[in-house]
Amino acid sequence: MKMQQALFSGALAAAIVLSGGAATAQDALNSKLPARIRDAGKLVVGTSPTYPPLEYKDTATLELKGLDIDLVEEIGRRLGLKIEWKEQSFDQLINSLDTSRIDMGASGMTDIPARREKTDFVDYFSTGTQLFTMPDVGAGLNKVEDACGKPIAVNRNGIFLIRLRDFNEKVCVAKGLPAVEYVLVDKTADARLQLLQKRAAAAAQGVDAIRYLNEQKESADRGKFKLIGDPIAVDYAGFGFSKANTELRNVVADAVDAMIADGTYSKIFAKWEMPYAEVKATMINVEPRRK
């Protein structure tokens, strides 16, 4: 009996020490927050939940799910803040940051110079633009050069069209191959639809999303697609912040770096089958942090 009491007392003491350490870490991060956010006790985060595995809605429960959702909820826990999600279209996110309607954007936002004119980024995973097709549509499309001269479906609003145009100039035109035919759509999901309906020979979107759709067990599109070579460009995705909100930007970066250090970050990436996208440390605007 005495031995059991001793064991229980030891376990209780260890739990108190561990919880005290967690509280201390949370307090340290919380103290770095802008007073407005700390006093409100919440972080307003904008997202466009149409891009699995990063953010999407469960069709049965309408609950937000995805890599970004899990990461941000963990960031909120570490900062001692409740996360208030605001759903909006992807093209509204930067304006919402600029007008303070949201504190942070979390929607697989690729960190590129044009977006940096108004927005700062905490880069937290690597991504890239991937060309892909379907076996019965893109016969003979085995390497990226094979896509030159073909109709390629791509979202007109974002990084994939920028990278596809770069590819066309630097690979197709530079090598004397036929130019890409652009099949422009308003949403990335529509690019896949053009492919499914055989209106395009290939499509371009993020490597993380197409691998998710093609490989994850619960995906309705599992095995439908064929990746064409390696990504045509490699980029970094980041959480977005107003340029006037550097305090919040920096403390979120601190929280993510702590998650990387203690293994929580890797566990979340493993859950969403994206270990290939992990980074060793956050960056600010594609530059190593100055601590």
The mean pLDDT of the chain is: 91
Query: Using one digit for the tens of pLDDT, what is the confidence trace for 152-193?
Result: 999 998 899 999 999 999 999 999 999 999 999 998 889 999
Q: Considering only the top CATH level, what class is 128-234?
A: alpha beta
Q: Which residue has the tokens 């990461």?
A: 71
The reply to whether 2-126+237-288 and 128-234 are identical in fold is yes
The pTM score is 0.80
Check residues 25 and 39 and name the one with the higher pLDDT: 39
CATH architecture assigned to 2-126+237-288: 3-Layer(aba) Sandwich (3.40)
Domain segments of the chain as ranges: 2-126+237-288, 128-234
Query: Measuring CA to CA, which residue among 148, 150, 152, 210 is closest to residue 173?
Result: 148
| Reported confidence tier of residue 268, pLDDT bands at 50, 70, 90 | very high
* Residue 92, helix vs strand vs coil: helix
Distance CA 250, CA 254 (A): 6
Alpha helix stretches (DSSP H) within 81-206: 93-98, 113-116, 159-167, 188-196
Mean predicted confidence (pLDDT) in 73-95: 97
